[in-house]
């Protein structure tokens, strides 16, 4: 299988000017920035532009994510109808892009480093625009420095945008080691990246020596390619082109929060290895007794002899095995996120359970009150009916007795006549 690095992606942006890396850029006043537009105060306005630079400038001026002052300037010179049309256009601006994706790095056509992740952070609408790139992997350290549950420690390669001379992308690289959505990012540096390790770092485990050596070598390169699978909903082709153009034109500074090493490794801080520090040999692990060393050397010799007798795997087998691997740091990150989500779900279920119990208790109390009131009303209605029936019955009996007594007695009447002169 051909190495992915043998086919470098076609550059999509123009070469930017070389600046002194990691140095603060001079702050220009707003009038100067408005006068020079896309130059951003970094290039000489009197110097001629090449056709490629002019095309990029025209592209920046028509970019919907570009400077809003340029749109206002054009609208001021257009007709009233054009101004109304421009006013109705709603630019699809985005505030910040943060991605963490599996990646693979290649350099010098024959070297590669897999099982890594690429952090891409971009804030295009900051004061002057900022970005930051980080390559991350996890290694087994001998002293277990701030180790996670799996006993590994994260190691980073910081890629400062000030150190990038040219950044290009290719949406259709010849080789796609990460699937059909693989994107190739070609970095041309004016200063090599920095390797970030724990502050008390001395040595790594035996199984991680090869990976650490590859990281050290990658951190010394001025030209390398990173293959990754970027989410198109966050970074479309136009946005990716805008990012590469801004980085190439030295318009972006480092995001300080991403470049801060004091918060790494549980707040213990980190050390940056650059230049000659990367060429220093790694300190050996703590010394063992002679018997242990002799036994270790015998085991190493035996293992080496056995490895020479193993059948060589075909390139197709190694490629399929590589595609089936999941980057260990991504797996660890997903495990941590899954544990965090599980804890959140448990807490939410507990809160919902208590709320449901509280609602049920309130509903039960309200229902009991209604039942008691209904029962009292039913009792009162029943008593009223019984009393009314009893009274009616008694009145009927009294009426019967009165009528009976009246009819059973003889009628006696006495007539009395007044005295009259005729009698």
Whether the predicted pLDDT of 137 surpasses 50: yes
Minimum mean pLDDT range among 111-120, 152-161, 201-210: 201-210
Q: Could you give the angle at the alpha carbon of 160 between the alpha carbons of 42 and 259, nearest 5°? A: 120
pLDDT at 352: 87
CA gap 167, 188 in Å, rounded? 6
| Segments of 141-279 assigned E as strands | 152-159, 164-170, 183-189, 194-198, 223-228, 253-254, 270-273
Q: Could you give the angle at the alpha carbon of 410 between the alpha carbons of 408 and 416, nearest 5°? A: 150
Task: Return the exposure string of 333-353: e unless at least 16 CB atoms fall within 10 Å of the residue's CB, then b.
Answer: beeeeeeeeeeeeeeeeeeee
Whether the predicted pLDDT of 283 surpasses 90: no
pLDDT at 189: 95
More confident residue, 257 or 296: 257
Q: Could you give the angle at the alpha carbon of 239 between the alpha carbons of 238 and 245, nearest 5°? A: 90
Give the model's confidence band at 214: pLDDT under 50 very low, under 70 low, under 90 confident, else very high: very high
Domain ranges of the chain: 1-42+50-77+91-284, 338-387
Closest CA to 141 of 160, 159, 155: 155
Whether the predicted pLDDT of 65 surpasses 50: no
- Contacts with 226 (C-beta within 8 Å, 6 or more apart), sequence order: 103, 104, 105, 118, 135, 184, 185, 187
The model's pTM is 0.47
More confident residue, 207 or 313: 207
CA gap 233, 98 in Å, rounded? 12
pLDDT at 158: 95
Task: List, for residues 225-234, the tens digit of each pLDDT value.
Answer: 999 998 888 8
Minimum mean pLDDT range among 141-150, 196-205, 215-224: 141-150
Mean pLDDT of 377-383: 87
């Amino acid at each position: 299988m051909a190495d992915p690095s043998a086919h470098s992606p076609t550059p999509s942006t123009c070469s930017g000017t070389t600046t002194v890396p990691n140095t603060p850029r001079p702050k220009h006043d707003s009038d100067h920035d408005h006068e020079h537009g896309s130059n951003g105060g970094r290039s000489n306005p009197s110097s001629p532009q090449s056709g490629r630079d002019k095309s990029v400038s025209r592209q920046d001026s028509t970019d919907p994510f570009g400077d809003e002052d340029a749109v206002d300037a054009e609208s001021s010179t257009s007709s009233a109808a054009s101004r109304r049309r421009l006013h109705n256009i709603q630019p699809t601006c985005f505030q910040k892009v943060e991605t963490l994706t599996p990646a693979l790095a290649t350099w010098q056509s024959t070297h590669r480093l897999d099982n890594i992740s690429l952090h891409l952070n971009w804030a295009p609408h900051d004061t002057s625009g900022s970005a930051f790139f980080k390559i991350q992997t996890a290694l087994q350290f001998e002293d277990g420095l701030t180790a996670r549950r799996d006993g590994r420690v994260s190691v980073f390669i910081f890629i400062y945008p000030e150190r990038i001379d040219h950044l290009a992308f290719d949406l259709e690289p010849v080789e796609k080691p990460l699937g059909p959505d693989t994107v190739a990012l070609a970095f041309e540096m004016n200063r090599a990246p920095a390797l970030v390790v724990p502050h008390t770092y001395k040595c790594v485990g035996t199984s991680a020596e090869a990976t650490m050596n590859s990281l050290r070598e990658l951190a010394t390169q001025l030209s390398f390619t990173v293959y990754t699978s970027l989410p198109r909903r966050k970074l479309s082709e136009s946005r990716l082109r805008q990012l590469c153009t801004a980085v190439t034109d030295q318009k972006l500074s480092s995001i300080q929060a991403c470049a801060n090493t004091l918060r790494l490794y549980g707040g213990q801080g980190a050390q940056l290895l650059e230049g000659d520090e990367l060429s220093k040999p790694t300190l050996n692990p703590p010394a063992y007794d002679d018997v242990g060393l002799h036994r270790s050397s015998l085991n190493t010799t035996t293992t080496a002899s056995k490895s020479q007798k193993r059948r060589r795997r075909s390139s197709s087998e190694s490629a399929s095995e590589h595609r089936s691997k999941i980057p260990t740091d991504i797996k660890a990150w997903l495990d941590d996120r899954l544990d965090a989500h599980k804890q959140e779900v448990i807490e939410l279920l507990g809160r919902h359970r208590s709320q449901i119990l509280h609602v049920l208790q309130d509903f039960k109390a309200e229902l009991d009150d209604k039942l008691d009131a209904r029962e009292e009303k039913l009792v009162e209605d029943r008593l009223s009916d019984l009393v009314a029936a009893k009274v009616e019955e008694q009145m009927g009996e009294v009426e019967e007795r009165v009528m009976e007594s009246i009819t059973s007695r003889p009628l006696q009447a006495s007539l009395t006549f007044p005295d009259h002169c005729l009698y």
